[in-house]
Amino acid sequence: MKKRVLITLILMTAILLPYASAGFFDFFNKDKVKLSQEAETNVSVTVGNAVPVIISVQQVTRGPSVGFVDLLAGTTANVYFNFSVRDDNGAADLNDASARAVFNKSAVLNSATGCVRVLEAGNVRTYQCAVVMNYYSEMGIWSVNVSIRDNSGNSAANIANTFSVQALKDISIAPLSISFPTVVPSSVTPVLSSANTTVTNKGNWEVPLNGQITIIAYDLRGAITPSEIIPAANFRASGVGTVCTTGTVLANGTSLIINNIALSRGAAGNTEDVAYCLTSVPLISSQTYSTQGGGSKNWKISI
């Protein structure tokens, strides 16, 4: 009886030993341990510094939906990104001051002035970075690079995110009205307007030369007799230069491209002048003719 119990115990030990002590039978593995070369050895394990890992990057909406950015005409817009970082040494090992975000397009870099820690949960911290975008920032896809270091100098970075800057069309014009010197009926002597219109680009949309800066003109009507008109076709408009000869001949209620003008984007060089010329006057009565006469409308400059 005792013999059987003993055999059972030996069997149990043999079966359970691999589970109770992992690697016990490795002792017999000749490839790893040579029985003939037994020696005492010190075993030490150094647990090193864990490198921080960026686990998520997310745009905070600045536009109708995530992934798009609305710029603000004539000024700057803050674009916010949140990113979360895990450090297995503990969140306190993260160097908050090193958190940063950089937006990049066509070698133009916009950097966050600073990132602020907004959340901490366990080994994870979340930072929010504000990057300033100018009204003239190039439209299209920008890439986002967020990074941070831990207190040992190990860094983590993520460059996988992008967003799209929208096309911003916004112009200012000055002055808001134009006038012409006094003229005589049936005159065929061209006269220039007393001032040009300065167009300033307050957005990021660029117009190439002879591109899409358009004007819709309307006939000028008499203040006393609105049925008498100076037709829109008697006017020309263009960039400054030989407007009276090469300017676009205007047409009543029709959108036409203004010749010899382009519009750039940027903080400087983003203004252009439009000149006007009254090329001839029909045989009409003496009165004031303007766009305020009955049936006329404001002229409209568009991009």
Partner 1 sequence: MENINLRISLIVLAILAVSASSVFAGVNSPYWGGSNPNPLKMHPGETKDVFFNLQNCPDLAANCAKKDDIVIVSLIEGSEIAQITSGESYTIPYGTADKYITVQVSVPENAKAGDSYNVKFSTSSSSGGSGGSVQLSTGYYVDFPVQVIAEAFEPESTSTETPISEKSDNKIVLWTAGGVFIIVAIIIIIILINQLSRRKEQV
Pick from 6, 11, 118, 240 the residue near partner 1 by CB under 8 A: 11
- Reading the block at residue 108, the tokens are 């133009």
Under 8 Å CB-to-CB from 91, ≥6 apart: which residues?
120, 122, 123, 124, 125
114 vs 231 by CB, closer to partner 1? 231
- The residue among 103, 93, 131, 99 whose CA lies nearest residue 117 is 99
Q: Which stretch binds partner 1 (CB under 8 A): 39-47, 121-129, 144-152, 203-211?
A: 203-211
- Shorter beta-carbon distance to partner 1: residue 91 or 171: 171
**What residues does 58 pair with on adjacent strands?**
82
Least distance from partner 1 to the Cβ atom of residue 300, Å: 5
Is 189 one of the binding residues for partner 1 (CB under 8 A)? Answer: no
Does residue 164 touch partner 1 according to CB under 8 A? yes
Segment contacting partner 1 by CB under 8 A, of 78-86, 103-111, 132-140, 152-160: 132-140
Residue of 242, 64, 281, 75 lying closest to 172 (CA atoms): 75
Query: What is the rounded distance in angstroms from the CA atom of residue 82 to the CA atom of residue 105?
Result: 20
Rule CB under 8 A: say whether 127 interacts with partner 1: no
Q: How many CB atoms lie within 10 A of CB 225?
A: 14
Residues in 56-115 that interact with partner 1 by CB under 8 A:
63-65, 68, 70-75
Q: Shortest Cβ distance from residue 75 to partner 1 (Å)?
A: 4
Report how far residue 52's alpha carbon sits from residue 90's, in angstroms, rounded to the nearest whole number.
10
Distance set, CA 206 to CA 150, 155, 266 (Å): 43, 39, 10
Tell me: does residue 45 bind partner 1 (CB under 8 A): no
**CB of 257 within 8 A of CB of 210?**
yes
Tokens of 39: 């020696």
Q: Does 23 bind partner 1 (CB under 8 A)?
A: no
**Phi-psi region for residue 32, left (φ > 0), alpha (ψ -120 to 50) or beta?**
alpha
Question: Using the rule CB under 8 A, is 181 a contact of partner 1?
Answer: yes
Site string for partner 1, 210-229 (x = CB under 8 A): --x-x-x---x---------
Q: Residue from 257, 292, 294, 295 that binds partner 1 (CB under 8 A)? A: 292
Residues 136-155 that bind partner 1 (CB under 8 A): 139-140
User: Per-residue x/- marks for partner 1, 244-283, CB under 8 A?
Assistant: --------------------------------x-x--x--
Q: Measured between alpha carbons, how far is 153 from 157 in angstroms, rounded to an integer?
A: 13
Cβ nearer to partner 1, comparing 185 with 294:
185
